Structure 1
Amino acid sequence: MVYVVIISEEIWTLLSYGGEKMNGRLLSISSVLMFLILASTAASAAQCTKIGSGSEPAIDANNIVWVSGGAVHVFDLASKKDATINSSAASHPAISGSILVWHDESTGVPRLTLYDHESRARSYITKGVDHDSVPAISGSRIVWSANSCVYMYDVSTSTQTGIAAGNNPDIYGSKISYEYASAKNTSQIYVYDLTTKKSIDVSQYGDNMFSHIYGDKVIWSDFYTRLGNIRMYDLATRQQTEVTTGDDMTGYDTGGSTDIHGNNIVYLKHNDLADMDSGDVYLYDIATGKSIQLSSGNTAQTPVISDNIVVWSDCGSIYVTFLTGVHA
């Protein structure tokens, strides 16, 4: 990547003569060079816009949700309006169409709240929910885990089903990805097909966690030899790919903060062992096998993606960037 920096006549004079007084202040060559370095660093990150305050964003099409102070926010990118849904202890929101779901402990007892942001109807899932239940949703189907068991709830039929032993599920269409570790093995990634009612092991080796699924692609974080490098399995071709290859000396890719949509994967690259929950947001293009940096500062968290929109939280703020014209 090449950066073009426009240098004014005054700055060029400083570079040529080793320092001049500008507005009564002395600028050295070193300070000017530092300015140019910072300018090129800033240029490496895509343009982003702050749309609100909070954390744990999720996105579906033009709707972005997040939590702030225990309440849920729904932001419409088209109208730029932010609607607040009352709750005192909401976390981990997810959205598909008009349906929202989040983990809720406002009563002191863990449950999942279902909310239709068009009709404003609210209901709850209480069976098979614990303090660590994090929901995911695709269409009318919601998945989560509790006490090392994966559950699914179909909003259209109001039915709940136990899927398999495991944790941290995700869902796309009729397929559910999740992790499971037997007494003798490290955690593996499985995909359950609701049509065939069968599971297959797509990771096959390593110590794997935090899977996400979209279409025929499954991604997860491999903790076997490194701290969370991303691997991807193609259900159609039955091929596995190592998406990121960072090691203990060059940065940590990526822990559990990943997401996938279409041909793109977003993830965090960690640069500080003291804070493995934060980093810089990167975009990986499955077609080209290349990554590009979207944020700077090493303080971003929980990036998510839908179509050409990437959202993340950073120091209590929610940011969005559009991928139009951005290529890895």
Structure 2
Amino acid sequence: MDWRNKAEISDIYVYDLSTGKEIKITTSELALNPKIYGDRVVYCNMSGEMSGIYLYNLSTNNETRVSTSGMGIYTSIYGDRIVYLNELAGNDIYTYDLSTKKETRITTNGSAAIPSIYGDKIVYHDWRNGFLKYSDIYMYDLSTSTETRITSSGSALLPAIYDDRIVYYDQSNGKYDIYMYDLSTNKETKITNNETANGTHPLYGTLAMYGDRIIWLERSSVEDLQPGEDLYFNIHIYDLSTSSGVRISTSRDLINYLDIYDNRIVWSSDNRTDISNSTVDIYMCTISEEDKGSNDKRQSRMEKNKSMPGFDIVGCITCLFGVFMYRRK
């Protein structure tokens, strides 16, 4: 989404990497939180009587209003299924099937948030055991219409799912770390190990997964700062196939709203060098096989790129504030 016209006006844009063209797909002036799958873009329109969940088909250039029952602030899409949080109907998760044009209520506790869908599985966090204090991760299987509780720590938030793997933040050890739960083995794995108050911080849009790669924002602790480093949040990646993780950026910009598809990462970056005239833009980078190497090798590549340290920039997308890869599957 983009506020290029006025601070209070937000519309959705798409940048096609294959053509280098930008497309404006909304004119409502209050469109939020876009998500993309294939040629379909789903988003929330909050402009008065037109409020609801909308779908834009990039192949046909048609916009469709798929739900009018409430405000879907957080949306997710996979195939023909759209999931969203209906805040006006009591903070519950709903799904809309594009093939049947049927809307289904998934939760009934009025305490769910941040849904993410992959295949038949929807994951979300839920405060049913104590609002704003005891949050756990749950999964709903559309093929069996059953709900499964994934965590029991009472401090898990912001899940994302890819295939049989769920990643999320959890504060069960006193500090927020990133964990992964494998549905095929029913095993939980701790990905990060934050022993100080710095490190990962659970914010919407700061944790994503594709294939064997998990990305998130993290900052060094004061004790671990190296010469030339600071306390800015930067992007980290963990590769499950090699059981190794590294920091891949050294930017001093305010980075947030990141996502990953294949070997590409996109994120928004707020240039705060001049607070009175800060700018927010969208960037993209590619991850090569070389990026699985050591931090020493990575540092030498960082120094070669002064425009955005730590990345091999292959494109700059200046349209979406929360863009996701165009060919997502």
Tell me, yes or no, whether TM beats 0.5: yes
Residue 105 of structure 2 is matched in structure 1 by 162
Contact in 2 for aligned 1:254/1:268 (Cα 8 Å) = no
Shift of 1:107: 2.9
Structure 1 runs of 4+ aligned residues shifted over 6 Å read none
Does residue 236 (structure 1) correspond to residue 203 (structure 2)? The answer is no
Residue 302 of structure 1 is matched in structure 2 by 257
SS in 2 for 1:70: coil
Kindly tell me: are residues 102 and 235 of structure 1, through their superposed partners in 2, closer, same or farther at Cα, counting changes over 3 Å? same
Residue 37 of structure 1 is matched in structure 2 by none
Runs (5+) with no aligned partner, structure 1? 1-52, 56-66
Shift of 1:133: 2.0
Contact in 1 for aligned 2:2/2:12 (Cα 8 Å) = no
Kindly tell me: are residues 204 and 323 of structure 1, through their superposed partners in 2, closer, same or farther at Cα, counting changes over 3 Å? same
Shift of 1:253: 4.6
Contact in 2 for aligned 1:269/1:282 (Cα 8 Å) = yes
> TM-score, normalised on structure 1?
0.73
Does residue 289 (structure 1) correspond to residue 238 (structure 2)? The answer is no
Contact in 2 for aligned 1:230/1:254 (Cα 8 Å) = no
Does residue 86 (structure 1) correspond to residue 26 (structure 2)? The answer is yes
Aligned residues: 260
Contact in 1 for aligned 2:157/2:202 (Cα 8 Å) = no
Identity of aligned pairs, percent? 26
Shift of 1:73: 1.2
Residue 327 of structure 1 is matched in structure 2 by 292
Residue 10 of structure 1 is matched in structure 2 by none
Counterpart AA for 2:139: V
Q: How does 1:131-280 map to 2 (within 5 A)?
A: 133-146=73-86, 147-165=90-108, 166-183=112-129, 186-226=134-174, 228-256=176-204, 257-270=206-219, 279-280=233-234
Counterpart AA for 2:94: Y
In our comparison, the structure showing a higher alpha carbon Rg is 1
Kindly tell me: are residues 297 and 139 of structure 1, through their superposed partners in 2, closer, same or farther at Cα, counting changes over 3 Å? same
Shift of 1:187: 1.1
Counterpart AA for 1:291: G
Shift of 1:109: 6.0
Kindly tell me: are residues 280 and 144 of structure 1, through their superposed partners in 2, closer, same or farther at Cα, counting changes over 3 Å? same
CA deviation digits over 1:237-296, x for unaligned, max 9? 1100111111334523554410111100110114699xxxx7211111112222222222
Shift of 1:140: 1.3
Shift of 1:68: 10
Shift of 1:70: 1.0
Shift of 1:129: 2.3
Q: Give the whole-Å Cα distance in 2 for the aligned partners of 1:270 and 1:206.
A: 24
Runs (5+) with no aligned partner, structure 2? 223-231, 271-279, 294-329
Q: Give the whole-Å Cα distance in 2 for the aligned partners of 1:271 and 1:109.
A: 45
Residue 113 of structure 1 is matched in structure 2 by 54
Q: Give the whole-Å Cα distance in 2 for the aligned partners of 1:75 and 1:239.
A: 38
Contact in 2 for aligned 1:128/1:151 (Cα 8 Å) = no
Counterpart AA for 1:125: V
Q: Give the whole-Å Cα distance in 2 for the aligned partners of 1:117 and 1:77.
A: 14
Contact in 2 for aligned 1:90/1:105 (Cα 8 Å) = yes
Contact in 1 for aligned 2:53/2:68 (Cα 8 Å) = no
Counterpart AA for 2:210: H
Kindly tell me: are residues 106 and 294 of structure 1, through their superposed partners in 2, closer, same or farther at Cα, counting changes over 3 Å? farther
Counterpart AA for 1:73: Y
Residue 318 of structure 2 is matched in structure 1 by none
> TM-score, normalised on structure 2?
0.72
Contact in 2 for aligned 1:254/1:270 (Cα 8 Å) = no
RMSD of Structure 2 on Structure 1 (CA)? 2.6
